[in-house]
Structure 1
Amino acid sequence: MTRLSVNINKIATLRNARGGNNPNVVKVAIDCERFGAQGITVHPRPDERHIRFQDVLDLKQVVTTEFNIEGNPDARFIDLVMQVRPEQVTLVPDAPDAITSNAGWDTIRHRDHLKDLVASFKDAGIRVSIFVDADERMIEGAREVGTDRIELYTEPYAHHYFTSREDAVAPFVRAAQLALDLGLGLNAGHDLSLDNLRYFNQQVPGLLEVSIGHALVSDALYFGLENTIQMYLRELV
């Protein structure tokens, strides 16, 4: 069964809109785990517009499943990850002003930088995943920098799913098979939802984990958080 990691950034966005601590991101993380989530993902950005760096420190004290910290590895992010020592760090090349992540790494152009980062995190006992497009050259480049896993950027799949789901998933099937052949673990995330998750999971070989936030939190407004997490888990069987 593919594991579900719930990205709680949108919970922090809602909290920050009014100040205070409602909703409480730590309590929500605990509840997500209690409701069946197998991991918690956070993506702190430099402006702390949703998850704050203090949130990450607080969450480290309570998360009992896999804690995944994703983000652009600037100096402050690296220091935070080294302090927290999560089970997994996911390196994402998003610009500071990006609304959301919108592309994977050029693992060839940034080879030396990524290789140094991966080695440092792995030496600290942290599993490393690199956010990449479904591009065979970038996946081969990811293998060259020594990462444990890749996370496939799935927005193009979601965007084309209702036009032709077979065509939409095809490059991800090829990318996943290459990752398996290269000995890389496989994660996926971005715009996966109740509409498209089951098919993706059925078609893509070797999928270990999906990270889902925006769609899941949006669905929880209608279905409730506990029920929504169970609905997503059923799509991953």
Structure 2
Amino acid sequence: MTARVRLGVNIDHVATIRNARGGPHPDPVRAAQLAVAAGADGITAHLREDRRHISDDDIVRLVAALTVPLNLEMAATAEMLQIALAHGPHAVCIVPEKRAERTTEGGLDVLGNQAGLRAFVDRLTARGSRVSLFVEPDPDQIEASAAIGAAVVELHTGRYCYLTGDDQTAELARLAKAAALATARGLEVHAGHGLTFANVGPVAAIPQVAELNIGHFLMGEAVFVGLDFAIREMRTAIDDARPPSPAC
């Protein structure tokens, strides 16, 4: 039986546009609702320490408005932990975060910070959130993620997306090996970063991948074709790569 790959839509950059001018428009919560209507299985929002896009109020309103799971991306800080514990989202994805970066660059060093991250995993899990760790497709990081009790790893696909030719093929193989190892260790496998219509297929075809989280590309395409169409096209691209079983 082939499981349907879930599509999580990240609505951060609707907030980026809003914040460029201030005021309430465009509203990321409205974008989230449109995404769900277009076929998104979940919504992802990254509440950064500097609040450069999603705001605290956005999280409050998303929790209240959504009828699908919310995946809260956050850094492993005391402030973000308290926010996540207060809201209890369906999922929390812990990501590395640097103030100077434009977007998330690379995966967490779980291996080098097992004790600190375990404390986050334990508290968030006790609150009822599924904890995901955003990691490179590296065996040591995956083993460490399993060892500290995470439920999910989200494999960073940025390197795959920005490579070409044989280098991209080799990185895809690395992603596939990492996904197989994670599944063997009892972790659910998600993937994301840099995925587009053109490159999503091979990642969606990896049998262990349960969910893809995509944001920036979809919001950029929506400028030209509309959010509904962009999400439906991505859903089609994913399903064409790994058609779901009629029973799934």
Cα pair distance change 1:162/1:223, threshold 3 Å? farther
Any runs of at least 4 consecutive aligned residues in structure 1 with deviations exceeding 3 A, and if so which? Answer: 161-165
Name which of 34, 37, 42 aligns with 1:31: 34
Q: Hey, what does 1:122 align to over in structure 2?
A: 125
Cα pair distance change 1:64/1:161, threshold 3 Å? farther
1:31 aligned partner, one-letter code: L
1:219 aligns with 2:225: no
CA distance in 1, matches of 2:165, 2:212: 20
CA distance in 1, matches of 2:116, 2:77: 11
1:10 aligns with 2:10: no
CA distance in 2, matches of 1:177, 1:220: 33
Q: Any conservation in 1 of the 2:157–2:193 contact (CA below 8 Å)?
A: yes
SS of corresponding position for 2:220: helix
1:195 aligned partner, one-letter code: A
Cα RMSD for the two superposed structures? 1.1
Q: Hey, what does 1:192 align to over in structure 2?
A: 195
1:205 aligned partner, one-letter code: P
SS of corresponding position for 2:111: coil
Same amino acid, percent of matched pairs: 33
Q: Any conservation in 2 of the 1:129–1:149 contact (CA below 8 Å)?
A: yes
Question: TM-score, length-normalised on structure 1?
Answer: 0.96
CA distance in 2, matches of 1:100, 1:133: 15
Q: Any conservation in 1 of the 2:76–2:117 contact (CA below 8 Å)?
A: no
Q: Hey, what does 2:88 align to over in structure 1?
A: 85
Name which of 230, 233, 236 aligns with 2:232: 230
Tell me how far 1:96 sits from its aligned partner.
2.7
Name which of 109, 124, 129 aligns with 1:106: 109
1:34 aligned partner, one-letter code: A
Q: Hey, what does 1:68 align to over in structure 2?
A: 71
Question: TM-score, length-normalised on structure 2?
Answer: 0.92
2:197 aligned partner, one-letter code: L
State how many pairs are aligned: 236
